[in-house]
Every structure is written in structure tokens, then in C-alpha cells.
Structure 1
Amino acid sequence: MARSIVIFDGDCGLCNGFVAWLIRHDTDASFLIIGSAGEVGRSALSAMGLEPEVAASTLVVATVHGPRVRSDAVAEVLSGLGWPWRAGAIVRWAPRGLRDRVYDAVARRRPRSPSEDPACGNPPRELIATWRSRLASQGDIDALVDAQPSPRG
């Protein structure tokens, strides 16, 4: 089964922290990760019909049902985790405009730091092996696209 792919800005301290948090709490390895600046990250964005620039300021989750961005991406991740994190997906009940304004306010204040590897960000030392094992490949993107329902014609 194709796994959703979290596409993030590897130069963003907040994004790297979120991905580290995700790896620690995604015990079933439901999500793969990829930095937006690398070739595979750009390919994933393109496969979802998104411009590469979107991930410079927005978290994206590529799913079999298409891309989820901003607060929808956060809710997608939360809904894919176990309890108690899954309960956080309740944020979807709030109007998207309100959720995205909060998301944007946080994103404007995020710390940016150059990463050594733009394809995957800076993993904390204790997560390096797990982080690397969760990196999406072009094959993972192809599997995700292949698993998408075909458009009705």
C-alpha cells in the first residue's frame, strides 16, 4: 500500500522539528518524509500538481487523494497517528480560513537554518537512522500516484 509523503522545508527549524516529532510518534511508519529542495521532493510536488515554491513556506502531505497543504496537512498527519494524537484532527471542524490564518501566523515566525542536506533536512542525532529509513524515493512517489483513483470520465 502506498504511504503518504510529508514534504517539508529542510531549511526550516520548525518543519524539521515537526518531522522529528512525527518520526517519534508515527510508530507504524505510516508516513514517509522528504525535503522539498531535493530532486525527489520536487518530483513529489510536481506529481501532486504543485509548484516547488509552495513547500518553501507550507507543509505538504502527498496522499492517494491528492495534496493536503497548510492546516489540512497537519490534520492529515494527526489523523494518521495513534491515540491521543489522532484526536488533534478535530481541528478540521474549524473553518479552513481560520485554521490557515493560524497556520500562516506560526509560519511567519518560524526559524530558518541552512541544512546540510536540502533533500531531507537536519535530523536530530538520535533519529538519524530512522529519519533516513523514512525518506521517500521516486518509487514511493510513483506508487502513490498509481494508487490514486482514476478520474471519472
Structure 2
Amino acid sequence: MPGTPIVVFDGECALCNGFVAWLIRHDKNAVFKVAGSAGDVGKAIVAAAGLEGEVVQSTIVVWDGTRGLTRSDAVLAIATKLGWPWRALGIGRALPRAWRDAVYGAIAQRRARLGAEDPACGVPPAELVAQWRSRLATRADVPGESENLAT
């Protein structure tokens, strides 16, 4: 991926928040930044990727600086940038996208049934708060946004 990849997620979704907490724990080299979809940065990334704003209500988006990846493509892009054993999930690209996205969709359907009290999801645990905040993308991370900040 060219540039620092940014994961845009639905900050109101317990499953998405849980995934980001998992990502921060396993992204030992701090490869990824994160942005909530409701914030200015998340909205700017989705727009820069040419995606509809509603897309983040049903999938995460991985922005690589030139394009936005969604659904199974996003998950596989994340996995291949992490260490072992997660990198091995990249072999999933050999499967047809329709199959991969069907699995992604089945997991995503669970998100509506999860509450913030679910121990596997929710807001970051206290020990991850500082690390989570250090990974937040800023408007300067979005192409064209640093020029907008100067005006």
C-alpha cells in the first residue's frame, strides 16, 4: 500500500470498536492509523476514496492513500500487513471475492446484536486508550486536506 493505511470504522458499532482494539493490540509496528466514520477525518477519507458515506455503516474501509478497500478486501489488506500468523490470511485472496464477502457479511450481521457491554467489543480497554489515541488519523493524513487546513 502506498502511504500510511488508515482504517475507517463505525465508532458507534461495538463489533467495529472491538476490531480496532484487536488491531491495535496486534499491529506491533504501528502500520495502521484509525479514524471513526462520523468524524471529519473519517468522512474526508471516505470522500477521497470516492465511496458513499453510508458504506461505513456496513463495512470497514482501508484507505491506502489512493483507494478505499471494503469488506473482505479491507480485512485481507489489514491481515497481510500484520505479523505472523495473521499475514497467512492473505491466502484468502485466492478465493472468489463473492465468497469472501459472504463470510464478511455473515460476521457483520452479528454487529446489530452486540451491545457495548459485550466483553469482546466496545470502547478501548483502559490499557489501550493512549495507544488508540496515538493511532488516530488527522486531517493532515488525508490527501488534499493539509492544503485545506492552511486556508
TM-score by length of 1: 0.84
Q: What RMSD, in angstroms, separates the aligned Cα atoms of the two structures?
A: 2.0
Letter in 2 for 1:79: T
CA contact (8 A) 2:65 2:142 kept: no
Deviation for aligned residue 1:142: 2.2
Partner of 1:9: 10
Is contact 1:5-1:61 (8 Å) kept?
Answer: yes
Give 2:35's aligned residue: 34
Aligned to 2:78: 77
Q: Secondary structure at the match of 2:142?
A: helix
Q: 1:65 Cα shift?
A: 4.0
More RCO (CA 8 Å, sep 6+)? 1
**What SS class does the counterpart of residue 8 from structure 2 fall into?**
strand
Paired residue for 2:105?
Answer: 104
Query: Would the aligned equivalents of 1:2 and 1:140 in 2 still touch at CA under 8 Å?
Result: no
Q: Which runs of 5+ in 2 are unaligned?
A: 117-121, 146-151
- Does the alignment pair 1:44 with 2:45? yes
Q: Given the alignment of the two structures, is residue 61 of structure 1 paired with residue 62 of structure 2, yes or no? A: yes
Q: 2: distance between equivalents of 1:143 and 1:32?
A: 18
- Write out per-residue CA displacement over residues 99-137 of structure 1, whole angstroms, 9 at most, x where no aligned residue: 1011111111114557xxxxxx82221100000000000
* CA shift digits 1:60-119 (9 cap, x unpaired): 1001341110000000000111111100111111110011011111111114557xxxxx
Q: Kindly tell me: are residues 70 and 7 of structure 1, through their superposed partners in 2, closer, same or farther at Cα, counting changes over 3 Å?
A: same
- Once the 2 structures are TM-superposed, how far is the Cα of residue 140 of structure 1 from its aligned partner? 0.8
CA contact (8 A) 1:2 1:143 kept: no
What is residue 151 of structure 1 aligned with on the other side? none
- Matched residue type, 2:38: A
Please, which runs of 5 or more residues in structure 1 have no aligned partner?
115-120, 145-153
Alignment TM-score, normalising by the size of structure 2: 0.85
Q: Which residue of 2 aligns with 1:89?
A: 90
Structure 1 segment 93-132 matched on structure 2, within 5 A: 93-110=94-111, 111=113, 113=115, 122-132=123-133
